[in-house]
């Protein structure tokens, strides 16, 4: 009786391109894009623009901005790849579809990519300033502490929030005074938001605890109140528009508040759905919305504190590639 041919297992030494075509090339890269959560990268860029525009009138010189974006790119993507490398044994049980447990990417190749990306982040930061390099090193330390095991403890969400706080400061790292209260307050607000959403989705791979979801929702609500207060009352040196001298609530801050309310409605609907049905699918959908909303919040902060509509709109437009790519690749 003829036997069925044995399934050929993935080999780390297999050549990724048995024959070349555009389609084949894209399909070969897809697991790598998935490994580094490519759709989430655009929120890291919006952090850089926010930090830079809180301390500069324009995104100039372009070279410095691009180097800071490259540094953030390397560190962010490295963090995502390291996360899957350290979680590969857990993912083999809980998320077997991910690139490493599915066999699409060899663990040692994922580790090599993670190290290279992190080095890219360091080198790019070093070309900007010494402060940039110090912050990049701090981000990498926070990332590794989280990925290597900190995520399972209560310190996990704190480490994630710290990474976002530092990423905003990386964007502002050319500033003379990184400890300026207004700058620190906005960076901390960004970090608190990520801390809260990380707590909300910390068990997204399985049935989430209603208690944890409600605690996360309360934390997000507290951060939302801080955001409203910030948009109306916080002062950041970049905000030097003439209308601030003649109006208690200048028009750009009122528009920023309206944008804030719109994002809150968008987020609120997903959170309510996740609390009503705390399944992995619903919680992950809420997490996707919470993460991509970082871009909108950064755009709102730029409008409120810098006052430039053009830069705010350009930042908000980073949502478009994040959304389009996110249809093909998961974010969380």
How would DSSP label each residue in 90-121?
Answer: HHHHH-TTSTTTTTSS-HHHHHHHHHHHHHHH
pLDDT at 20 exceeding the cut of 50:
no
Residue 63: how many other CB atoms lie within 10 Å: 10
pLDDT at 241 exceeding the cut of 70:
no
Is residue 12 assigned to a domain? no
pLDDT at position 329: 86
Predicted confidence (pLDDT) per residue in 4-13, tens digit: 444 444 455 5
Per-residue pLDDT band for 114 (boundaries 50, 70, 90) equals very high
Q: Which residue has the higher pLDDT, 146 or 246?
A: 146
Q: Determine the average pLDDT of the residues in 128-157.
A: 96
97 Cβ neighbours under 8 A, 6+ residues apart:
none
Is residue 97 assigned to a domain? yes
pLDDT at 30 exceeding the cut of 50:
yes
pLDDT at position 246: 44
Q: What pTM value is reported for the model?
A: 0.90
pLDDT at position 245: 40
Backbone φ and ψ for 292, nearest 5 degrees, come out as -70, -20
Is residue 11 assigned to a domain? no
CATH of the domain at 134: 1.10.357.140
Is residue 241 assigned to a domain? yes
Is residue 331 assigned to a domain? no
Is residue 20 assigned to a domain? no
Q: Determine the average pLDDT of the residues in 248-260.
A: 89
66-70, 99-103, 126-130, 211-215: lowest mean pLDDT where?
Answer: 211-215
Is residue 219 assigned to a domain? yes
Q: Look at the chain and report how many structural domains it folds into.
A: 1
Sign of CA dihedral 132, 134, 135, 140: positive
Predicted confidence (pLDDT) per residue in 116-131, tens digit: 999 999 999 999 999 9
pLDDT at 276 exceeding the cut of 80:
yes
Q: Which residue has the higher pLDDT, 93 or 66?
A: 66
Predicted confidence (pLDDT) per residue in 297-321, tens digit: 999 999 999 999 999 999 999 999 9
pLDDT at 26 exceeding the cut of 60:
no
Is residue 259 assigned to a domain? yes
Q: Determine the average pLDDT of the residues in 131-137.
A: 98
pLDDT at 104 exceeding the cut of 90:
yes
Per the structure, the complete domain to which residue 295 belongs is given by: 36-326
pLDDT at 74 exceeding the cut of 90:
yes
pLDDT at position 18: 46
Q: Determine the average pLDDT of the residues in 203-207.
A: 78
Task: Provide long-range contacts, Cβ within 8 A and 24+ apart, for 9-12.
Answer: 9/103, 10/103, 10/104, 10/106, 12/106, 12/108, 12/109
């Amino acid at each position: 009786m003829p036997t069925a041919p044995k399934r050929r297992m993935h080999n780390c030494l297999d050549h990724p391109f048995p024959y070349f075509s555009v389609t084949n090339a894209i399909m070969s890269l897809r697991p790598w894009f998935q490994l580094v959560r490519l759709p989430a990268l655009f929120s890291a860029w919006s952090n850089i623009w926010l930090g830079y525009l809180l301390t500069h009138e324009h995104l100039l010189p372009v070279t410095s901005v691009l180097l800071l974006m490259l540094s953030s790119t390397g560190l962010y993507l490295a963090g995502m790849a390291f996360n899957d490398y350290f979680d590969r044994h857990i993912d083999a049980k809980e998320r077997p579809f991910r690139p490493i447990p599915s066999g699409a990417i060899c663990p040692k190749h994922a580790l090599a990519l993670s190290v290279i990306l992190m080095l890219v982040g360091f080198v790019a930061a070093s070309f900007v300033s010494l402060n940039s390099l110090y912050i990049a090193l701090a981000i990498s330390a926070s990332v590794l502490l989280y990925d290597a095991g900190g995520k399972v403890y209560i310190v996990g969400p704190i480490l994630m929030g710290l990474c976002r706080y530092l990423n905003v400061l990386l964007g502002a790292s050319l500033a003379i005074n990184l400890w300026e209260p207004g700058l620190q307050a906005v960076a901390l607000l960004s970090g608190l938001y990520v801390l809260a959403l990380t707590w909300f989705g910390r068990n997204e791979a399985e049935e989430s605890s209603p208690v944890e979801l409600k605690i996360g929702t309360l934390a997000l609500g507290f951060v939302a109140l801080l955001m409203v207060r910030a948009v109306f009352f916080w002062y950041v040196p970049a905000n030097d528009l003439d209308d601030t001298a003649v109006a208690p609530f200048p028009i750009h801050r009122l528009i920023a508040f309206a944008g804030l309310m719109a994002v809150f409605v968008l987020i609120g609907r997903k959170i309510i759905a996740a609390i009503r049905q705390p399944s992995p699918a619903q919680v992950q959908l809420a997490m996707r919305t919470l993460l991509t909303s970082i871009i909108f919040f950064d755009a709102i902060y730029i409008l409120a504190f810098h006052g430039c509509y053009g830069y705010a709109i350009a930042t908000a437009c980073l949502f478009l590639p994040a959304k389009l790519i996110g249809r093909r690749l998961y974010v969380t």
